[in-house]
Structure 1
Amino acid sequence: MIRVLVAEDQSAVRAGLVLILGSAPDIEVAGEAADGEQAVALARELRPDLVLMDVQMPRMDGVAATRQVVAEGLADVLVLTTFDLDEYVFGALRAGASGFLLKNTDAAELLAAVRTVGRGEGLIHPAVTRRLIAEFASAPVREPAADRSVLDALTRREREVLSCLGEGLSNAEVAVRLEMAEATVKTHVSRLLGKLELRSRVQAAVLAQELGV
């Protein structure tokens, strides 16, 4: 059973999410939050497996709430967003979110996403990844670039996989690009995340862009 805390300030949207999640036999809605502060407080109290986090919320936005939830080790975070909120998503991913989902996602995709993140895996749609990377690659740099020395810990193959993640490729696409089994790709991704001390492949994609690999 995956216990989910739904954080969404629009009551109608929140009710819809709760209804969809509650229809699945393996998912339990542990609680509902109408703003970021409440989301953090309920995460501390209820200890859900996952927080489905909206980005724009009153009192504390989803980025700040994600940062706090992740920093305290309270739960994994799956961010809800729209394309016009890419910058907020970028901040949430850097804050440690395990992935993000578009608000217009259908019910089946929502449930699949919750199950994926609930298993401890990162989730990000390749097309959305490419959109994010394209926008932020062309944006002015707002903070110092990451130190390329972090790549020294990676093998040549792991660097190649990291480069593919930076392009927003899925494991299947990486397997085709590098001519290896998909299971081998998963192993490389897991290892490079550990070496780089990252929580998700999404953070790896962002780092790859910052390092120019």
Structure 2
Amino acid sequence: MLVADDLTLVREGIRALLSGVDDVDVVGEAESADEAVALARKLQPDVVLMDQDMPGNGLHATRLIKEAMSATEVIIMTDRLSDGRALQAIEAGATGYVLKDIPIASLASAVRAVCNGRAFFHPEITRKLLEKLGHLTREQRDRLRVEFEGLTPRELDILFELARGSTDREIAAKFVLSEGTVKTHLRNILKKLGARNRTQAVAHVLRKGLID
């Protein structure tokens, strides 16, 4: 893992705390966004732990890293929770969003999660976003249907369920489909939206419905 933060104490503290975690190794440290991109290209880490507000813009660095190394996952660190900022991080390509005061065991879990293709977000952010999505007005829902007119009605229904936090099994049960069919629909959704993963697909829905 590459740790990117402008504060030496933060970088060295994370490295020291993770030294006792057998399956997580810190391979480098960066103190600016530009250095983070350069080191990521050089070291090819599985994960970059990126300060959202570091000099040079952590989100811009995240975009550059994901464009150059799609297999490298990015977890954004922040010192304040904001659903808007979290959406910006997701759209930049991050698959994790955590507070800087996260317990080290939880940080290790976040690293493992993104390495295994899952997203890891602070539970309060997830709760806020899903709560807002559940209270969209009819006008907002209609606008979303227009916005995503390239999707079939079934794909749109599945995308909305995904944004609500439903699992493949729950989606399959609701629409009386096999899980394999749901996965096929999800692959088509990602392709049509130009999203790298499910997290980014959900971000499209949340941002269009809640922010625009």
Return the TM-score normalized by structure 1.
Answer: 0.75
The structure 2 residue matched to 1:65, chosen from 45, 61, 65, is 61
Q: Matched residues in 2 for 1:111 and 1:186: separation?
A: 30
Take 1:189 and 1:22, find their aligned partners in 2: how far apart are those partners? Answer: 41
How big is the shift at 1:166?
2.4
Q: Could you tell me how far 1:208 is from its partner in structure 2?
A: 1.9
Q: Which residue of 1 aligns with 2:10?
A: 13
Displacement after TM superposition at 1:171 (Å):
3.1
Q: Report the equivalent of 1:101.
A: 98
Once residues 103 and 149 of structure 2 are traced to their aligned partners in structure 1, the CA distance between those partners, rounded to angstroms, is 42
In 1, Cα distance between the equivalents of 2:128 and 2:94? Answer: 18
Stretches of structure 2 that go unaligned for 5 or more consecutive residues are 137-143
CA contact (8 A) 2:161 2:171 kept: no
Match 2:196 to one of 191, 194, 199: 199
Give the C-alpha shift of residue 40 in structure 1. 0.5
- For 1:211 and 1:86, locate their aligned partners in 2 and report how far apart those are by CA, in whole Å: 13
Query: Are the aligned partners of 1:94 and 1:203 in contact in 2 as well (CA < 8 Å)?
Result: yes
User: CA distance change for structure 1 residues 20 and 189 in 2, over 3 Å: closer, same or farther?
Assistant: farther
Counterpart of 1:33 in structure 2 is 30
Query: Are 2:112 and 1:111 equivalent residues in the alignment?
Result: no
Deviation, structure 1 residue 93: 1.3
Structure 1 CA distance, aligned partners of 2:78 and 2:111? 15
What is the DSSP-based 3-state SS (H/G/I as helix, E as strand, rest coil) of the residue aligned with 1:27?
coil
Which position in structure 2 is the counterpart of 1:150?
Answer: 150
Return the alpha-carbon distance in structure 1 between the equivalents of residues 79 and 185 of structure 2: 27
The within-5 A match list for 1:46-85 is 46-58=43-55, 60-73=56-69, 75-85=72-82
CA distance in 2, matches of 1:91, 1:33: 22
Amino-acid identity (%): 35
Match of 1:142 in 2: none
Residues 186, 79 of structure 1: CA spacing in aligned structure 2 closer, same or farther, 3 A cutoff? farther
In the alignment, structure 1 segments of 5+ residues that lack a partner are: 139-144
The alpha carbon displacement at 1:177 in A equals 8.4
- Paired residue for 1:90, among 64, 68, 87? 87
Q: Secondary structure at the match of 1:12?
A: helix
Instruction: Count the aligned residue pairs.
Output: 199
TM, length-normalised to structure 2? 0.75
**Structure 1 residue 134, shift from structure 2 partner:** 6.5
CA RMSD for the aligned pairs? 3.6
The answer as to whether partners of 1:7 and 1:53 remain within 8 angstroms in 2 is: yes
Alpha-carbon distance in 1 for matches of 2:94, 2:44: 16
Q: Distance in 2 between matches of 1:149 and 1:114?
A: 35
User: Amino acid of the residue matched to residue 52 of structure 2?
Assistant: V
Q: Deviations over 1:12-39 (max 9, x none)?
A: 2222211232221111111001111110
Alignment of 1:164 with 2:161, yes or no, is: yes
- Classify 1:92/1:180 alpha carbon distance in 2 versus 1 (closer, same or farther; 3 Å): same
